[in-house]
Structure 1
């Protein structure tokens, strides 16, 4: 592969077929010149990007990055790949590098960002949060810093977005926020704290995750059992009133309404989880 551009002693842009890619290794480009050849066995990491804008952006980033930072990123990603049993892509390496470089600049000024999703990521993505904590411990140790675990959440979200069967990161965050908000509505309505270790709570969580997914994709079952719905309303009026608050929330956030069956199942799950919690309080 012929060198197209030398970015620094460790990074160069090379021609590979009809495309240009970024290659990295410590000392890789030292004493190299444009037009000279870099062999595969000299390269530690190759970054393949699908647009000139991205190539330009990340070329600048890599050319101004400390080689130790890149080594750190490679270490984090290797741990994440093993943890998730999934191969990462080049964008993850580069966006994570971008994130951590900026985080280190913030830390130098004593600026630490609070994450509104700490609870959600811990709860629904424990493996990804573990990766974030692994990264955080490496960063704190290497740079003698004390980043809060909120930073681990931000790093974890990069790995959440990596998985192909997930929607994009914005939708993942929106889904987690909705789950948190609905749980808050339930707890506020009944003035209780739900037992997160109970089986009924786990069932409610599973139902809500699928419920929110259906709402976001507008993929709701058209069939409805109105007779059962009316019976449940009469039996569990408190749960019915709570679901009406959830209905308003869904209408405002997603501009759609609950189906009859969604209303019914929500009432049933809410009754089960709150009835148990209320009994334990008395």
Structure 2
């Protein structure tokens, strides 16, 4: 196996004997001059095929502990869930864990959509997420609310539906593109789809579209937090409301304040990291 790119001292990109790319994790794999032939495969602790390049750029932004936790959760998913799991889950999960811990430090508890229904709708994913939250809480020595279970479960569910062979709706790509066009028009920006921010955004939009197509509505509605955040960022709020109008017009689906708030967070992260930091939503990078 040939190592062709170093992400850091412990994560590298390799090419196997069939010329397929594989991301390998292992202590010291990146210490050597690149490229080099990796003859001792026992040095590889974890390896994953099929990871999209846009997620690879996230590696050095993620904490080592969150990556390790994400790999453990990924193993649980492979054991307990039927079908394929998208390997990108490692990076979306690690990013979500870092985001979750940062919000915990800021005492910002965002109500997740559909907490009351998610356990019944997706019991296997929910059970894994509950176990994951317990593990994350122990490793980081923090208390995480029950709402965080849904956030983890959403990432797991996205990994099941994100494979081309398993896309749930025929107009999925069109809806996603329409939403992106709304963001670019309303905020007068051009979004680079190769960025890590876009990868994070897509993860949320995929689940939102799935909920809309299934007609699953959340009964809880946190207007107080929505009002507070929306006043700090009126342009992103207006953009989110335009997206809400799109779903109401095209799908007869109403986004409540919880979903609007979470949408605002992801649009802010997608369009302006510094602005999002000022809102107190995520860490400055």
**Partner in structure 1 of residue 35 of structure 2:** 35
Match of 2:177 in 1: none
Q: Which runs of no fewer than 5 residues in structure 2 stay unpaired? A: 169-205, 221-246, 253-285
Please tell me whether residue 126 in structure 1 is matched to residue 127 in structure 2.
Answer: no
| Alignment partner, residue 105 of structure 1 | 102
What runs of 5+ residues in structure 1 fail to find an aligned partner? 185-249, 256-282
State yes or no: 1:114 paired with 2:115.
no
Deviating more after overlay: 17-26 vs 154-163:
17-26
| TM-score, with structure 1 as normaliser | 0.56
**Structure whose alpha-carbon radius of gyration is higher:** 1
Say if 1:124 and 1:166 are closer, same or farther in 2 by CA, change over 3 A: farther
Q: Distance in 2 between matches of 1:251 and 1:35?
A: 53
**CA distances 1:98-122 after superposition (whole Å, capped 9, x unpaired):** 2112222222222232112112212
**Number of aligned residue pairs:** 184
**2:14 maps to what in 1?**
14
TM-score by length of 2: 0.55
Q: Is the 8 A contact 1:6 1:33 kept in 2?
A: no
Q: CA deviation at 1:139?
A: 0.7
Question: Does the residue aligned with 2:36 lie in a helix, a strand or coil?
Answer: coil
Aligned to 1:194: none
**Structure 2 matches for 1:168-183, cutoff 5 A?**
169-175=207-213, 178-180=215-217
- The CA distance in 1 between the partners of 2:32 and 2:249, in whole Å, is 59
Residue 153 of structure 2 is aligned to residue 146 of structure 1: no
**Conservation of the 8 A alpha-carbon contact between 2:76 and 2:128:** yes
Distance 2:104 2:248 in 1: 40
Q: Report if the CA contact (8 A) 1:2-1:34 is conserved.
A: no
Shift of 1:67: 3.1
CA distance in 1, matches of 2:66, 2:159: 21
Answer whether contact 2:211 2:217 (CA < 8 A) is retained. no
> Does the Cα contact within 8 Å between 1:26 and 1:67 map onto a contact in 2?
no
